[in-house]
Amino acid sequence: MSLAARLVGVVRRPRCTFDAVLRRPRAADVLIVTTIAVAVAGAIVMRTEVGQLALLDQWDRTASAFGHRVDDAEYSTFERLSTQGPAYAAAMAVVNGPLAAFGAAVLLFAIGGAAGKGVSFRQIFAVTAHAGVILAIRQLIAAPAIYLRETTASATTLGFWFPGFDESSAVARFLGTVDLFVIWWAVVLGLGVAAIYHISARRAVAGVLGAYAAVAAVITLIMVVSGGQA
């Protein structure tokens, strides 16, 4: 399959695409394209005053969510760093793209090795890299949304769509942590895991979604325990 066919295939027919990727595993081309696209989109927004103010607000909100009150000196530091928004966007594109795909591949390879599954790391890395197309789409949509809404707060979290809970409650924090695009990515990655290890798609998807929910629950617990502000 061509690069374009694989990029589209991850969205439209992920299981068939992963079968093709496993027969001829490639990761570099899809990672290069998605990382550059996300980095450029993010950098364009972060060059603007709106983007830099949104980034500054994001850092302040994140600190507050985990119970840390930002003092004047720290806020001044955040203001200075926010002017480096384009570099920050590029760095995050690398973290959320190649590094995230590599980390997921290492974890899946370790699990497969423990279970005695004879699958190469190259095959697994190719699958996680292609699953990352979904996360890249999320970031490409988020970039113009940040400029239009003047905030980095995601409009695709469950908390955004179910705002009826007290913002300081554990339920509201959990819903604010769970993102619809990441759920989509978890489902697609689950289909990739099913293709890798020849197991039930339902079982694989449930496993990845369960792991995501567990991570979200841990983050929520940390925020609640730390007494952070929503």
Taking a C-beta distance cutoff of 8 angstroms, is the pair 104, 6 a contact?
Answer: no
Nearest to 194 by CA among 1, 19, 10: 19
Take residue 42 and report the two structure tokens written for it: 């993010």
Question: What is the rounded CA–CA span in Å between residue 142 and residue 3?
Answer: 23
| pTM attached to this predicted model | 0.89
Question: What is the rounded CA–CA span in Å between residue 188 and residue 178?
Answer: 16
Take residue 101 and report the two structure tokens written for it: 């795909």
Which pLDDT tens digits describe the chain residue by residue (230 residues)?
A: 899 999 999 999 999 999 999 999 999 999 999 999 999 999 999 999 999 999 999 998 888 888 788 888 988 999 999 999 999 999 999 999 999 999 999 999 988 765 556 788 999 999 999 999 999 999 999 999 999 998 988 889 998 888 878 777 889 889 999 999 999 999 999 999 999 999 999 999 999 999 999 999 999 998 888 865 55
Residue 65 Cα distances to 88, 113, 136, 143, angstroms: 21, 38, 25, 23
Question: What pLDDT is stored for residue 134 in this prediction?
Answer: 97
Taking a C-beta distance cutoff of 8 angstroms, is the pair 10, 17 a contact?
Answer: yes
CB neighbours (10 Å) of residue 55?
Answer: 24
